[in-house]
Amino acid sequence: MKKEILIQKWLDGELNDAEFKEFKALPEYESYTKISEKAILFEDTSYDVDFEFDKLKTIIKDRQLETPVKTINWMQPLMRIAAIFIIALAVYYAPIYGETTIVKTLASNTKSIELPDNSKIKLNTTSAIKYKKSNWENAPKVSLVGEALFNIEKGSSVNVVTWLGDMTMSGSKFKVIQRADYFEVVCYEGIVTLIYKDKEITITTDKSFKIVDGETFEEKMNTSDLPTWAKG
């Protein structure tokens, strides 16, 4: 038999007795068998399938534990987007909450307005008031241009701002006329204090205070009648 085939058969463990004798007679016999025997020493006997499998399971489990962290990472951009929306909405709605209420009247037109503290304002023609609902408790403030009758709720006080300055009214009924060169406050009930040229002026019931062309007049008047436009 051809040497190569003989050896290949030996390597495959297929030699019969006769063939094995033939193989044994080869000069390389000893060398081959030694190589074959010693090959076993190159085996890695440390490979333990169960141990390796446990190790693998641990690795996979550890990774799964890390997965929620990944989800959080994924959540982060979502939270950012949500935050942007919230901020955008807040910015969009903020002016409504902090918005200034403006009430205007045209010629031959009057209006009644109720302030957040139930005080009432009657606005004569071509006048306007401006106030903020949102901050009313901290700063009850009404800006006025034109003519208006204020009926301040008892126990409340309101700050009326005109070109002249701030007036503080409490629990009073009064009229303010404020036109280009003319200013008048008529007090029907209670007390009105106002500051004019750093001087505090107090106007009591049935008194009026006028500024005409820079001249100030304080007058006593009969205020039993409200202005005609404010009636009814």
Partner 1 sequence: MIKALNTNICEEHVFSNIFKTLSKDVHNFLRYKYGDGLNPKDKVQEAFIKLWDNCKNISPEKAKSFLFTTANNMMLNEVKHQKVVLRHQQIKPKSYTNENPEFLMEESEYMKKYQRALAKLTEAQRVAFLMNRIEGKKHKEIAEELGISRKGVEKRIYGALNKLRKEIDGI
Beta bridge partners of residue 212, listed in sequence order: 182, 215
Single-letter amino acid, residue 97: Y
23-82: contacts with partner 1 (CB under 8 A): 28, 31-32, 34-36, 38-45, 47, 49-50, 52-53, 55-56, 59-60, 63
Task: Find the shortest distance in angstroms from Cβ 44 to partner 1.
Answer: 6
Query: How far apart, in whole angstroms, are the C-alpha atoms of residue 152 and residue 188?
Result: 11
- The correct pick among 4, 181, 198, 215 for binding partner 1 (CB under 8 A) is 4
- The correct pick among 1, 8, 80, 154 for binding partner 1 (CB under 8 A) is 8
Q: With respect to partner 1, which residue has the nearer C-beta, 8 or 135? A: 8
Query: How far apart, in whole angstroms, are the C-alpha atoms of residue 120 and residue 156?
Result: 11
Query: How far apart, in whole angstroms, are the C-alpha atoms of residue 81 and residue 89?
Result: 12
Task: Find the shortest distance in angstroms from Cβ 64 to partner 1.
Answer: 10
Structure tokens at 32: 């081959």
Separation in Å, CA 80 to CA 73, 92, 148: 11, 18, 50
Q: Does 106 bind partner 1 (CB under 8 A)?
A: no
Query: How far apart, in whole angstroms, are the C-alpha atoms of residue 176 and residue 182?
Result: 10
Q: Does 12 bind partner 1 (CB under 8 A)?
A: yes
Structure tokens at 138: 């901290």
Residue holding tokens 């807040």? 90
Task: Find the shortest distance in angstroms from Cβ 76 to partner 1.
Answer: 24
Task: Find the shortest distance in angstroms from Cβ 58 to partner 1.
Answer: 10
Q: Given the rule CB under 8 A, which residues bind partner 1?
A: 4, 7-8, 11-13, 28, 31-32, 34-36, 38-45, 47, 49-50, 52-53, 55-56, 59-60, 63
